[in-house]
Amino acid sequence: METRFALSIAPMLDLTDRHFRYFARLLSKEILLYTEMVTANAILHNKPERLLEYNKEEHPIALQLAGSSPRDLAECAKIGEDFGYDEINLNCGCPSERVQSGSFGACLMREPNLVAECVAAMQNAVKIPVSVKTRIGIDNDDSWEFFLNFVESIAETGCKYFIIHARKAWLKGLSPKENRTIPPLNYETVYRLKETHPDWNVVLNGGVKNLDEAKEILQKVDGVMIGRAAYETPWILADESCVRMDIVEKYRPYAEQQIKRGVPSHMVFKPLIGLFHGVPNAKKYRMMLNKLVPPTTLL
């Protein structure tokens, strides 16, 4: 089985926008980037370019969709392919109440047949890979049998590319932020899935903080997806040849271009805030960026 990408950055709302993705690509050419989650309804009822436009330098890049209508998701997958995305991903892991009210995200784990219909429709609509990002369970439905039934139902469509957030989700009582930290990590469930289905492409997500951890995990699965650590301490992604101030200088022409287009400067420069994390005299660099970014973003 061909492994697509050993390392990827998780789709994160309000974080993995096009500015962060451009910045991340300057750090590494080897990672797969994901958009923020985009709902099918938003694409179909707005101008797609407003939501889907990106910079050609971001490739390889995957579009993450959220929805529960096979027809709508298929149409959006085709739109994404036409925009040039390299992969379409279906979100079956977000636990927020807003997502639940739209009947998509993590609550779809209780509807494996519907998810299979969605994935089949998406695969029939595009020629690029279709993947599914999910949790290992929801609420008290957290047994191995429940999880395995969900992913195997999807795999019957021919999709064998799964990104697994190695925590279950609580749909009530925990915020999305708490759902990223309170349910305990269970890497063994993800490892067991790979052992059970060695021909699948299995990517582990959740709690990975650096590339040393990722290398250990890659002994047992095909890929590792890094979330908050990639945003808060982005230097962990950097290729060996990178120099921090060189990255800033390479980012400068892009930033100037975006600001000329009317993008607020704090949105453009926000991704750079974590670049100097842990560096001696880092405060000096943050003060430099502070001239361009409102102080409230420097938390």
CA distance 258 to 116: 40
Distances (CA, A) of 275 to 20, 214, 247, 257, 284: 11, 20, 9, 21, 12
Q: Which of 76, 94, 118, 159 is catalytic?
A: 94
Collect all residues with Cβ–Cβ distance below 8 Å to 17 and sequence separation of at least 6: 36, 267
**How many residues are given for the chain?**
299
94 is catalytic: yes
What angle do helix axes 187-196 and 144-155 make, rounded to 10 degrees? 50
CA distance 80 to 129: 12
Give catalytic residue positions.
Answer: 94
